[in-house]
Structure 1
């Protein structure tokens, strides 16, 4: 049985009022207007987000693939979140062979992944190489002190500063930033009160 941890969202084991759960659900619902064609949920965790996208956007998507490094988590996703348009596979987001193994996608979603990945450049390169021309990337990460600085989260390599996050996507044709606090997602503004950044990029 998949265990609930501070870094793992398992809706079946959480109260409906849990702030972490609501925050994660809000991000996936935010994706729905952007989804089309073949979709990748990069570091999908227990699979609930993959399921949300496949079910709500079923008329717009042809396939939603969830990938996660944890075999246990993928087994749980397969048992818990079946949908005819979704599938789950074990994989490392920083594996340079992923683009050749998985092919191309119209949309790639990756929430709260970047702060866990030591091979940041390879992870972002994989995303870019797997995204079709005109494709959409939606990615989020919590803000922090920046690369090389400690965080209060034991599972995080680091947490990027706002400036570091804003400078990650120069190769995309269109880039739009958003902030998130709880379930509220708003366009980027001058406030420093929002702890999470979300980017929507078009290749």
Structure 2
């Protein structure tokens, strides 16, 4: 059953997490092999804990697990989500006065301990299927992003120029302002060489 579920994901190019994760600025290039081995070990430990948690020792191999995380690594989008703690306190504030006083007897110590931090938004990354299915162009006509003021966990796709009827909507997977060689090197992680109009012109 797991192999059947894997078939749609197995189509197309993907890299394992420890192969595609960007090298942090504080890690020297001569230490890259050791860094990637640490990431692989982290994935192994994570998979082991996952298997133990769901009591399934045959869940899937480390390579498949690494590919799943790698897909997320290459396709995730930063996002901001409203603080669930703030929503909880706002809910209590709307209760009838008698219920509110009872609830505040429990929540007030926590609120005092948190101070202003109770309203801090949660920051992280998310995988959005629609955005992840969009093709790349170094001259994109759209942009996928998450505004800080949008705290609902949703991503936004906006047009960055006029899009003609029937024209494919594309986004950029990388910084399209990089020089040609650097763009191609960055896109190698996705398994293709870009042949968009911008790259075709610069390659000549």
Greater helix share, structure number: 2
TM norm structure 2: 0.29
- Larger Rg over CA atoms: 2
TM norm structure 1: 0.29
Greater strand share, structure number: 1
